[in-house]
Amino acid sequence: MRELTGKVAVVTGGASGIGLAMARRFHAEGMRLVIADIEQPALTEAAEQLRSEGAEVLDVVTDVSQADQVEALAEDSVAHYGSVQVVCNNAGVGGGGPAWDISLGEWEWVLGVNLWGVIHGVRSFVPRLLKAGEGHIVNTASMAGLIGLYTSPHYAVSKFGVVALSESLYNQLQMAGAPVGVSVVCPAWVHTRINESDRNRPPAAGVPTATERDDQTRSAVEHVISSGMDPAEVADKVVAAVKSGQLYVLPHDDQFWLDLITKRTTGIIERRNPTPDPLPGSDAIRAAISQLA
């Protein structure tokens, strides 16, 4: 999609972080916007900010883990603008702890938002893009979906799923000769509020794991995230990928992360067991997990 001016972008998780940055960047391209988020006050504030910057915005409160709400988002978007062209399945939540210590409720919450939210977005929007004869899907995964982030197994599972879904969707659309592109965004540390996901934790998810509650662990996570990449940089690379039709978007292209991807891939080919490499800021998390084993 070389030309974005006058077209419509839908962004879930659009009230903050990468989602809001993408919305701003799409507005800079002359696009009209739909932003969705589960947080009503934050969503209203974000929409007002964007309108003050000259953007045309529809804001829709949406829990992406619920299929009917994502379908309603698609219906509202098309009813308001007539069609949509770019859909960013971006909403996500985080968490951490040993796989055996994470409650079933939390597994269901993280997978519900991070993976099922993308599945619902694909099911609701791709048929509409195909009918319109033009479009692009952007799915937000993570570096955790490429290297197996041992500090957060449920998060890694959800993001591996998003990568797999995006690859399959890309291949199927290519095989069908459909004029719909796909990108999967795999950032490492980004300065967002992902470490504050508990603000939207549903009662069914229960309380955070002991590892998450540990002050040292929380402090380490907050440090690496606060020093992470500016979401605007991620948004720039997303727009470039939409324009060029690029599938894999790796905003952090420094050699450290590329080496981890290479090590995992060659390890699979050579049938070597993995070793948990030290990640930036992960020492406290790793120590907390070791104490529970």
For residue 48, give both structure tokens: 């007002």
Burial tier of 287 (Cβ tally within 10 Å: 0-12, 13-18, 19+): middle
CA separation (Å) from 64 to 13, 42, 51, 148, 262? 9, 16, 24, 24, 33
User: Among this protein's residues, is 170 annotated catalytic?
Assistant: no
User: Is 218 in a helix, a strand, or coil?
Assistant: helix
Q: How far apart are CA 245 and CA 248, in angstroms?
A: 10
CB neighbour burial string for 164-182, b if at least 16 within 10 angstroms, e if fewer: ebbeebbeebeeeeeebbb
The catalytically annotated residue of 81, 150, 155, 170 is 155
Q: How far apart are CA 125 and CA 117, in angstroms?
A: 12
Question: Which amino acids are annotated catalytic?
Answer: 155
